[in-house]
Amino acid sequence: MTEKAFDEITLASGLKLKNRLVKAAMEESLGNEKQQPDRCIERLYHQWAQGGVGLIITGNVMVDKLAMTGPGGLALEDEANVLAFARQAQAGQKNDAKIIMQINHPGRQVYKKMRGKVLSPSAIPLNLGKHSSLFGVPKAMTEEEIEDVIARFVKTALLAEQAGFNGVQIHAAHGYLISQFLSPLVNQREDSWGGNLENRAKLLLQVAEGIKSAVSPSFSLSVKLNSADFQRGGFDVDDAKQVVEMLSDVGIDFVELSGGSYEAAAMQGVTKDGRTLAREAYFLSFAEQIAKDTQLPIMTTGGVTQLSTVKQVLDTKVELVGIASALAFEPNLVNTWQQNPSHQATILQPSFKDKTLKALATMAIVRRQLIRLGQGKRVQNSQCSTVTLVRDQLRAARLTKRYLRSVKR
């Protein structure tokens, strides 16, 4: 039965979702020169809310404007930005949808051209072969810098609550800072923040506990976690099981399971350790293993285009299904499924064989649709991968110059 997809669910915080279908995070790169959302983002989120999803998770919002994943991103670190984010929250709550803000720190995954803070548990740069020079060289964080990051996550969560969001999601996946601490490949510290898994998970747990103690009990807190890094010797499913168990004592609403990093873009269906992912719901087999051993609701995401895939996911112990790229092409997809359950969304795929270029082109193709939707235009049903990537890189160059002027770096 596919009806479960449209069943209500009430989370531990009391947050009630009208269905089990979630708009998963995509980085829109539609922020203004102050790293704030403006009319384009409001228009985009209004469409997703009207499109029928029960929950919207925003694209990642940075806790430090000097540590951004890219130009055009959003940052929320002081009260001056609350009003702009409040308008985004209101847009995402139309049609009885709920909206939570994904909050993040990129760690070492900062483009060199951004000239930002490039921090990591250990001074180990990204290994992208011939493309490694695109990113800055990280410095190992001091104790003071770690404490500063924890405080920033808590402050951003409080500001998100003030802006009217229904909750926040801590981004601890995809090779960003908290994920770097979890990874034995990146975290080679010999102090209390490194070594065994309990130490490597300490940053995530302290961020989660800090937020939980600072916000209202009814404010939702969730975590996005890698089910695996898909790199030999990296964070793997057994580690994820243990971290989920640690999180069960914090009082979070759900854990979203994804996978990969810039080095192994499993979130786009690409692995580096030879493992094969499913064509849709990439991480379902991993999510099943983790869900059966925890009472925490589990969400999984990755390439979903069909309601039959949603059914397959919900027939396991997984409670929520995340949809990302498909909603860039069809923001009304959930409403469409209610009228036509056999409908399959189309996601345009790049033709590059180079894994790094393919990952960049995939993001560029999706981002192009998000920009068009934010501008009130229709999506494009066909694109040349090369042209789209070049246009995206030119746009990024313009936005990088704007960003450097705004932060005077």
Q: 247 — phi, psi (to 5°)?
A: -70, -25
Task: State pTM to two decimals.
Answer: 0.93
Does 128 fall in a domain? Answer: yes
**CATH number for 183:** 3.20.20.70
Does 402 fall in a domain? Answer: no
Does 382 fall in a domain? Answer: no
**Length reported for the chain:** 409
As for how many domains the chain has, the answer is 1
Q: What one-character-per-residue DSSP string does 278-343 give?
A: PSSSTTHHHHHHHHTT-SS-EEEESS--BHHHHHHHHTTT--EEEE-HHHHH-TTHHHHHHH-TT-
Does 238 fall in a domain? Answer: yes
Does 337 fall in a domain? Answer: yes
Q: What is the DSSP letter of 354?
A: S
- Find the domain containing 58 and state its range: 3-344
CB 95 within 8 A of CB 49: yes
Does 162 fall in a domain? Answer: yes
Q: pLDDT tens digits, the chain, 409 residues: what are they?
A: 457 999 999 999 999 999 999 999 999 999 999 999 999 999 999 999 999 999 999 999 999 999 999 999 999 999 999 999 999 999 999 999 999 999 999 999 999 999 989 999 999 998 888 888 889 899 999 999 999 999 999 999 999 999 999 999 999 998 999 999 999 999 999 999 999 999 999 999 999 999 999 999 999 999 999 887 667 767 888 899 999 999 999 999 999 998 767 765 544 444 444 444 454 456 788 888 899 889 999 999 878 999 999 998 999 999 999 999 999 999 999 999 999 999 999 888 777 777 778 778 888 889 999 999 999 998 877 778 888 889 999 999 999 999 999 998 6
Does 252 fall in a domain? Answer: yes
Say which amino acid occupies 280: E
